[in-house]
């Protein structure tokens, strides 16, 4: 397996970005849904902070993924794919990148405006130029929550498309993103 992408498959760096982002996003969505119900205040603060730090990690990964994508070829889609499938694939992918950028950015802005920015030990990671403001925090939280729903929808479309290609079309679209140990190319 190569580090870089080819016209037939994603390279190991793109696969690493993809699967690490996927894992973190799923963890963040689950934690985001349940973390408000944690009763132990100390544990709750730790989980909230980890959620914020993982979110910032996703933001960094998305920026790195986009830079990597702009410097590497993207594997070609199967020539037999219909125009509507190609359009849907490009649209879902574009919205996914936008959502995965807006979601952590809005969380960072929200937590900073609410006066609870993420921290690493004693080092605070407040979003620059964001004032302490309950009104702003409430507005941005609504954006953050809306994008959680959007990401869940996009994730479902993405997974459904990959499974359709693998089980119905029986092409290599899914295999080219899987690591070799899971049968990937």
Query: What would the pLDDT profile of 164-180 be if each residue is shown by its tens digit?
Result: 999 999 998 999 998 87
Residue-averaged pLDDT of the chain: 95
Q: Rounded to an integer, what distance in angstroms lies between the CA atom of residue 49 and that of residue 68? A: 28
**pLDDT confidence of residue 101:** 97
* pLDDT tens track for 83-111: 999 999 999 999 999 999 999 999 999 99
Instruction: Provide the pLDDT confidence category of residue 182 given band limits of 50, 70 and 90.
Output: confident
CA–CA distances in Å: residue 38 to residues 23, 34, 55, 126, 142 = 22, 7, 19, 24, 21
* pLDDT tens track for 38-61: 999 999 999 999 999 999 999 999
CA angle 152, 156, 160 (to 5 degrees): 170
Q: Rounded to an integer, what distance in angstroms lies between the CA atom of residue 48 and that of residue 53? A: 9
CA torsion through residues 75, 89, 26, 130, sign: positive
Q: Rounded to an integer, what distance in angstroms lies between the CA atom of residue 6 and that of residue 49? A: 38
Contacts of 97 (CB under 8 A, 6+ apart): 62, 65, 66
Distance of alpha carbon 107 from the chain centroid: 13
By residue count, the chain amounts to 185
The arithmetic mean of pLDDT across residues 155-162, rounded, is 96
Q: Which pTM value belongs to this model?
A: 0.93
């Amino acid at each position: 397996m190569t580090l870089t992408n080819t016209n037939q498959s994603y390279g190991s760096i793109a696969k690493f970005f993809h699967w690490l982002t996927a894992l973190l996003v799923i963890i963040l969505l689950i934690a985001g849904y349940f973390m408000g119900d944690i009763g132990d205040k100390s544990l709750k603060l730790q989980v909230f902070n980890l959620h914020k730090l993982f979110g910032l990690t996703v933001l960094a990964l998305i920026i790195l993924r986009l830079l990597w994508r702009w410097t590497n070829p993207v594997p070609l889609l199967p020539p037999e794919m219909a125009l509507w499938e190609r359009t849907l694939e490009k649209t879902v992918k574009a919205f996914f990148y936008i959502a995965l950028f807006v979601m952590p950015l809005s969380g960072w802005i929200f937590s900073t405006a609410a006066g609870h920015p993420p921290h690493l030990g004693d080092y605070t990671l407040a979003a620059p130029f964001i004032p302490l403001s309950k009104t702003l925090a409430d507005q941005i939280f609504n954006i953050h929550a809306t994008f959680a729903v959007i990401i869940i929808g996009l994730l479902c479309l993405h997974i459904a498309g990959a499974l359709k290609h693998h089980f119905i079309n029986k092409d290599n679209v899914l295999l080219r993103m899987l690591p070799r140990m899971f049968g990937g190319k």
